[in-house]
Amino acid sequence: MLTEEKKEFITFMVAADVLRFGQFVTKSGRNSPYFINTGNYRTGGQLAALGRFYAAMVQRVLGNKFSAMFGPAYKGIPLVAACAVALAEKYHIDKPYFFNRKEVKDHGEGGNIIGYKPVAGDRIILIEDVITAGTAVREVMPLLKGFGDVQVTDMFISVDRREYGQTPGKTAVMEVAEEFGLQVQALVTVEDIREWLAVTGGNPEDLRRMDEYREKYCVK
């Protein structure tokens, strides 16, 4: 269902040139009628707004029932920081955050974790942009589990494209959720984007291509 909050977020993505409609080739080689590039967020105002969208979702789903937030390098880093700020300022939920380096630092404090260091009993949540194939999640889960008896329970993303993953009948999000026991929450799905395009008077050709694409590549 396309709520007002979802409409606001999709409009925000379009205004930031993060969500585009047209014809694009994805990493998987699929010809997609829309493209999401979160690397196009580039101003302080955009980052602040993005943090508020994520914080609202985290607060609605979990309240303060988690220990810390983790943002996978690289795109998850500004997202987790912005979410942490918004949670503290808007909801008075002041939780630690941390992220990883792609390369292990061999001087100074060393290691590849920056920020909070998890301890036994912690409940960790992940803040990420999108899940395409689940590669980033699979890379960081062994790192997080290396801290010992910690739980990684929830993951929050911008968009669920609902596209088939490696398993017939399942999306990449479903695969990651089942493999790691995660509850994955998305601000919007491809169905929301399609509905937004329709109610805002989008290009009929874009709508046609989206319907064809969803029929061919998406789990409904």
- The overall average pLDDT reported for the chain is 91
pLDDT at residue number 11: 98
The Cα–Cα gap between 115 and 72 comes to 12
**Using 50, 70 and 90 to split pLDDT, how confident is the model at 107?**
very low
Active site residue 105: yes
Annotated catalytic residue, options 65, 105, 117, 216:
105
Q: Which region holds residue 201: left if phi is over 0, alpha if psi is between -120 and 50, else beta?
A: left
Sketch out the chain's domains with CATH numbers. 4-217 (3.40.50.2020)
Q: What is the mean pLDDT of residues 48-62?
A: 98
In the numeric block, which tokens belong to residue 179? Answer: 């493999």
Whether residue 206 contacts residue 9, with contact meaning beta carbons closer than 8 Å, is answered with: no
Annotated catalytic residue, options 27, 92, 102, 107:
107
**Using 50, 70 and 90 to split pLDDT, how confident is the model at 165?**
confident
Active site residue 107: yes
Q: What is the pLDDT of residues 128-154, one digit of tens each?
A: 998 876 778 888 899 898 888 999 999
pLDDT at residue number 2: 92
Compute the Cα dihedral for 101, 148, 136, 15 and give only its sign.
negative
Write down the residue that tokens 């790192």 correspond to.
143
**Using 50, 70 and 90 to split pLDDT, how confident is the model at 30?**
confident
First and final CA of the chain: distance in angstroms? Answer: 14
Whether residue 88 contacts residue 34, with contact meaning beta carbons closer than 8 Å, is answered with: no
Q: What is the pLDDT of residues 108-127, one digit of tens each?
A: 454 688 999 999 999 999 99
Give the DSSP H or E segment for 51: helix 44-62
